[in-house]
Structure 1
Amino acid sequence: MRVTTKGQVTIPKEIRDRMGIGPGSEVEFVPTEEGARLVAVNENLSEKEAARRFKDALDRMEGTLDLGGMTTDEYMEWSRGPREDLDLD
């Protein structure tokens, strides 16, 4: 990606679509140790549009987590550790 003489870059369509960036959207470049991260600034979205974007994000994530055959309860215990507030004796 090349920076123009005006300091502009073109965000690839795939990334714009994935992040819900359209004409008039605001974005920020946030410095990281690796370089910079593109962040879409939260917009005042309608509840319907926010729900659609959330569903689209969930759809993109579907099937990306391999639990290695663990059940949901087993995974939750693995990720959080055993619950000490429950008396299971």
Structure 2
Amino acid sequence: MPSLAVTMKGQITLRRDLLAHLGVKPGERIEFDKLPGGELRVKAARPTGTIDNFIGRHAGKVNKPLTIEEMNEITASGWSGEQ
């Protein structure tokens, strides 16, 4: 099991392979759950979207009717928090 050093400020740095395993990219957030026995569960924080963000993001940008595939792509990117 890999171990990490804690800095004087109480910070740790996760190695690139661990971040890749979590699917975390620069600027994204990580969540921690406290478990019994001094353990932590680490997981990537997934942004939650709202229908207002989805509608507002694409308002006035479409000049032609969309295909189902295009609508699915827009929906997936809007709800996943991609900009």
TM-score, scaled relative to structure 2: 0.47
Larger Rg: 1
